[in-house]
């Protein structure tokens, strides 16, 4: 296993036929490459509790969540992951969110182009997610 400092977290969502990035301000965080057969990564974001309902709703509504992170330093290129939220935990007056998923080996622009094209073709919701996974 390899562990990296999580420097930035954005949630990628389709809203009103457009791709929307929600920047989540971090207090701290880790990204762990488990180096297993499935190429699984764990991402932990330690954040303000103001995001508790946002992440609980996201966990209930979506089986898979597309996220974009920066690892180690802000100047690094972002990495995109297809994840599941495996935990949303209150920790005193703060909270953490645990994601488990796989890295997407495409650059941000290509991901956004692909998602935008699918939305323009009329895909949305679960159908959009399924079609996107087919193309990866």
Q: Specify the 3-state DSSP secondary structure of 115.
A: helix
Buried b (16+ CB within 10 A) or exposed e, 55-75: beebbeebeebbbbbbbeeee
Q: What is the pLDDT of residue 109?
A: 62
Q: What is the pLDDT of residue 136?
A: 63
Residue identified by tokens 């996974």 is: 133
Q: What is the pLDDT of residue 125?
A: 79
CATH 2.40.30 fits 2-106, yes or no: yes
Q: What is the pLDDT of residue 111?
A: 72
Dist. CA 130–CA 67, nearest whole Å: 16
Q: What is the pLDDT of residue 41?
A: 96
pTM for this entry: 0.76
Q: What is the pLDDT of residue 33?
A: 93
Regions in the chain scoring below 70 on pLDDT: 105-110, 136
């Amino acid at each position: 296993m390899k562990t990296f400092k999580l420097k930035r977290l954005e949630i990628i969502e389709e809203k009103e036929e457009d791709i929307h990035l929600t920047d989540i301000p971090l207090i701290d965080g880790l990204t762990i490459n488990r180096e297993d057969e499935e190429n699984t990564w764990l991402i932990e974001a330690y954040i303000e509790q103001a995001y508790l309902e946002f992440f609980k709703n996201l966990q209930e509504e979506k089986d898979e969540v597309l996220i974009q992170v920066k690892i180690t330093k802000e100047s690094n290129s972002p990495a995109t992951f297809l994840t599941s939220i495996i935990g949303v935990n209150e920790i005193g007056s703060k909270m953490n969110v645990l994601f488990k998923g796989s890295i997407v080996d495409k650059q941000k622009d290509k991901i956004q182009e692909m998602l935008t094209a699918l939305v323009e073709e009329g895909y949305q919701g679960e159908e959009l997610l399924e079609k996107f996974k087919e193309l990866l």
